[in-house]
C-alpha cells in the first residue's frame, strides 16, 4: 500500500503477539469475499463526489491528506488510542505533546509556559478559546468581524455570551476604526482576529488589533484555522509586508486556533487550540472517578473539552511533520506553491477583459466575477456566474471545479464596481481556493478554461 507500511504493521503485530495468541470471536468473522464486495460497493458509492484531490478541483477548502498522514493514521488506528486520558494511549499522548510544541514554536509561544492540544476541528478549538475568554471576562461580549467565521457568533450563543460584529473593509479584513468605536463603550472583553477569512482569505491587521486591545485590557483570540500555516511564509517575499507582519505578531495573541486538517496535509479530525498562558488549564479541571490512574501531571484529557478523540490524529500529524517540518523549507514550500498559484491567477484575472478580481488575494483564495466591460445588473452577473460554475463541472479532463460566494454591496469596492446595477441585495461571484501546490503550474490552464466558459456562457 504505502512504502514501509507492511513492515511497520508487522512490527506492531509483533508487539501485540507478546501477550500470546488472541482468537477473533466467530461473531466478528466475515468471509473475505463479502468484505471485498462491500468495499467494491463503497468505492462505487464514493464516486458520487467531486475530485477534491485532482488539480482540476479548485473550489472549496478540500483536499486529501498527504500519503504519510494517511499511512500513519491507519497504522496508529490499529491500536486506536484515545486522547481522553493518558491511559488511553501514552504513545500518541506524547506525540501530541510534540506536535503541539512544534505549533507553539511556529507561532512564537514558549512551549513551557503555554498550553495546547489537538481537537477534532476548528469549531471545537474556537469553542474552547471562547469559553476560556468568557471565564476570564465574565459578563463581557466577544467581538468578531463580519468576515470572521460564522462559528464565533454561533458558539457565543452556545456559551451564553453576547456577540458583537465588527464591520469589515472591502478586502474582508476587520475595519479598525469600527473596532475602536465598538471597544470604546467597554463592554467587549475579547476580540477575535482572523488570519485567513474563510471566504476571501483576508488577514486582519493583528499588530494594530493587539495594540488597541492591550491598551484596554481586552483579550485577543486569533482564528487562524485556515491560514495559520502561512506563518511559515512570513519571513519570505510571497506575502505582502502587512500580511507578513500580522503573522509575525501572532505570539502576542492570548489564544490561537490552527487546523492541521486544512493546510497541514491531515485527514479531517485535526484542529488545534493554543493558549499563551498555561494557567488557563485550571478552568478545565474536573474530577473523574474512572479515567486517570497513571499520572499526576495535567494530561490531555484534563486540558480539553472533548473526551474521546483519535490518538491517530496526533500520530498522523507527527509523522507528517517529520517529513514536512514547520519551517520555510519544510511545509512552507507547500504553502509557497499555493500562494504562488494565487498571485499568478490574480495577475491573469487583472489583465483579463472577461473576469474581474473581487480584491487582491492575501493568501491562496481568489474571488472574481465575470465582466463584459459594460454596466450589468447584479442578477445578470449572478446568473452568468452560475452558468460558468456549472459549465466547469464536467466528467472529462477539460473540467474545472470552482466555488461560489454570495456578496453584498458593501463588501465590494465602489471605486471598482461602479458598473454593477444593484437590482437585488446580493451578487454571486466565483471563488477558488488554490490549496494544492499543483495549482501553481495549473493556473494558466485553469484560467484559459474559465475565460473560455465566461465567453461561451455570456449569452
Ligand atoms: C474552517 C474554519 C473554521 C471552522 O473549522 P472546522 O475545522 O471546519 O470546524 C473556523 N474558522 C475559520 C477561519 C475557518 O476557516
How confident is the model at residue 64, as a pLDDT?
93
Question: How much is the pLDDT for 300?
Answer: 77
Any atom of ligand 1 within 6 Å of the Cβ of 151: yes
Which residue's CA is the nearest one to ligand 1's atom 12?
Answer: 225
Burial zone of 285 (CB within 10 Å; 0-12 exposed, 13-18 middle, 19+ buried): exposed
- CB atoms closer than 10 angstroms to residue 290: 6
Rounded to the nearest whole angstrom, what is the distance from the C-alpha of residue 164 to the centroid of ligand 1? Answer: 19
**CA quadruple 69, 71, 72, 75: dihedral positive or negative?**
positive
Q: Does residue 223 line the site of ligand 1, with CB under 6 A? A: yes
Pocket probe mutation, ligand 1, options 60, 65, 122, 433, max atoms within 8 Å of Cβ: 122
- Closest Cα to residue 279, out of 103, 128, 124, 136? 136
- Backbone phi and psi for residue 58, each to the nearest 5 degrees, phi listed first: -135, 45
Q: Is the CB of 199 under 6 A from ligand 1?
A: no
- C-alpha 74, offset from chain centre: 22
Whose Cα sits closest to atom 5 in ligand 1?
122
- pLDDT averaged over 10-residue windows placed end to end, the chain, 459 residues: 96 96 95 98 97 97 96 97 91 97 98 96 98 98 98 98 98 98 97 98 98 98 98 98 98 98 98 96 75 56 90 98 98 98 98 98 98 96 98 97 98 96 98 98 98 95
pLDDT at 238: 98
Centre of ligand 1 from the C-alpha of residue 365, in Å: 15
CA of 171 to the centre of ligand 1 (A): 19
How far apart are the C-alpha atoms of 207 and 209, rounded to whole Å?
6
- pLDDT reported for residue 312: 98
Alpha helices (H) along 86-136: 90-107, 122-136
**DSSP 3-state assignment of 432?**
strand
Considering only CA atoms, which of 55, 122, 117 is closest in space to residue 86? 117
Ligand 1, residues 129, 259, 269, 363: which to mutate, most atoms within 8 A of Cβ?
A: 259
Question: Assign residue 196 a region: left if phi > 0, alpha if psi is -120 to 50, beta otherwise?
Answer: left
Residue 377 CB less than 6 A away from ligand 1: no
Our answer on whether the CB atom of 229 is closer than 6 Å to any ligand 1 atom is no
Cell of 113: 509556559
Mutate to test the pocket of ligand 1, among 149, 158, 272, 364 (most ligand atoms within 8 A of CB): 149
Q: Rounded to the nearest whole angstrom, what is the distance from the C-alpha of residue 124 to the centroid of ligand 1?
A: 9
Q: Atom 2 in ligand 1: which residue has the minimum CA distance?
A: 225
Return the pLDDT at 297.
60
Give me the long-range contacts of 339-343 (CB less than 8 A, separation at least 24).
Answer: 339/230, 339/233, 339/238, 339/239, 339/363, 339/364, 340/238, 340/440, 341/434, 341/437, 341/439, 341/440, 341/442, 341/443, 342/201, 342/366, 342/434, 343/238
CA distance 93 to 314: 8
Helix ranges (H only) for 311-438 are: 311-323, 331-351, 378-392
- For ligand 1, whether the C-beta of 271 sits within 6 Å is yes
122 lines ligand 1 (CB under 6 A): yes
Upper half-sphere CA count for residue 288 (Cβ side, 13 Å): 12
pLDDT of residue 292: 46
Strands 163-166 and 188-194, by their bridges, are: unpaired
For residue 451, report the distance from its CA to the centre of ligand 1, in Å: 31
**Predicted local confidence at residue 1, as pLDDT:** 84
Amino acid at each position: 500500500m504505502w512504502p514501509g507500511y507492511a513492515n511497520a504493521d508487522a512490527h506492531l503485530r509483533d508487539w501485540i503477539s507478546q501477550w500470546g495468541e488472541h482468537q477473533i470471536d466467530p461473531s466478528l468473522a466475515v468471509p473475505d469475499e463479502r468484505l471485498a464486495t462491500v468495499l467494491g460497493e463503497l468505492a462505487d458509492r464514493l464516486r458520487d463526489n467531486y475530485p477534491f484531490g485532482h488539480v482540476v478541483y479548485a473550489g472549496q477548502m478540500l483536499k486529501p491528506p498527504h500519503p504519510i498522514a494517511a499511512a500513519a493514521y491507519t497504522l496508529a488506528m490499529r491500536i486506536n488510542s484515545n486522547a481522553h486520558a493518558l491511559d488511553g494511549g501514552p504513545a500518541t499522548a506524547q506525540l501530541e505533546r510534540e506536535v503541539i510544541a512544534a505549533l507553539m514554536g511556529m507561532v512564537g509561544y514558549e512551549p513551557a509556559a503555554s498550553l495546547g492540544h489537538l481537537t477534532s476541528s476548528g469549531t471545537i478549538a474556537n469553542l474552547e478559546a471562547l469559553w476560556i475568554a468568557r471565564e476570564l471576562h465574565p459578563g463581557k461580549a466577544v467581538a468578531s468581524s463580519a468576515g470572521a467565521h460564522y462559528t464565533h457568533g454561533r458558539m457565543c450563543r452556545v456559551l451564553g455570551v453576547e456577540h458583537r460584529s465588527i464591520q469589515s473593509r472591502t478586502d474582508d479584513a476587520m475595519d479598525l476604526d469600527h473596532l475602536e468605536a465598538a471597544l470604546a463603550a467597554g463592554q467587549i472583553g475579547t476580540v477575535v482576529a482572523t488570519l485567513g477569512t474563510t471566504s476571501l482569505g483576508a488577514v486582519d491587521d493583528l499588530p494594530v488589533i493587539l495594540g488597541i486591545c492591550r491598551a484596554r485590557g481586552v483579550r485577543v483570540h486569533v482564528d487562524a484555522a485556515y491560514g495559520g500555516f502561512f506563518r511559515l511564509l512570513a519571513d519570505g517575499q510571497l506575502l505582502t509586508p502587512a500580511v507578513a507582519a500580522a503573522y509575525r505578531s501572532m505570539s502576542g495573541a492570548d489564544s490561537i486556533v490552527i487546523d492541521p486538517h486544512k493546510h497541514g496535509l491531515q485527514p479531517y479530525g485535526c484542529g488545534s487550540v493554543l493558549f499563551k498562558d498555561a494557567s488557563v488549564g485550571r478552568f478545565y479541571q474536573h474530577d473523574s472517578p474512572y479515567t486517570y490512574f497513571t499520572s499526576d501531571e495535567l494530561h490531555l484529557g484534563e486540558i480539553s473539552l472533548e473526551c474521546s478523540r483519535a490518538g491517530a490524529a496526533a500520530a498522523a500529524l507527527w509523522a507528517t511533520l517529520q517529513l514536512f517540518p514547520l519551517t520555510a523549507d519544510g511545509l512552507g514550500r507547500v504553502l509557497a506553491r499555493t500562494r504562488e498559484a494565487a498571485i499568478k491567477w490574480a495577475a491573469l484575472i487583472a489583465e483579463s477583459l472577461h473576469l474581474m478580481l473581487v480584491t487582491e488575494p492575501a493568501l491562496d483564495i481568489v474571488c472574481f466575477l465575470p465582466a463584459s466591460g459594460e454596466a450589468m445588473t447584479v442578477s445578470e452577473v449572478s446568473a452568468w456566474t452560475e452558468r460558468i460554475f456549472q459549465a466547469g463541472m464536467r466528467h472529462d479532463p477539460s473540467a474545472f471545479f470552482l466555488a461560489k460566494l454570495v456578496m453584498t454591496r458593501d463588501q465590494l469596492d465602489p471605486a471598482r464596481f461602479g458598473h454593477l446595477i444593484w437590482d437585488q441585495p446580493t451578487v454571486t461571484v466565483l471563488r477558488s481556493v488554490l490549496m494544492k501546490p499543483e495549482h501553481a503550474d495549473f493556473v494558466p490552464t485553469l484560467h484559459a478554461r474559465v475565460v473560455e466558459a465566461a465567453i461561451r456562457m455570456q449569452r
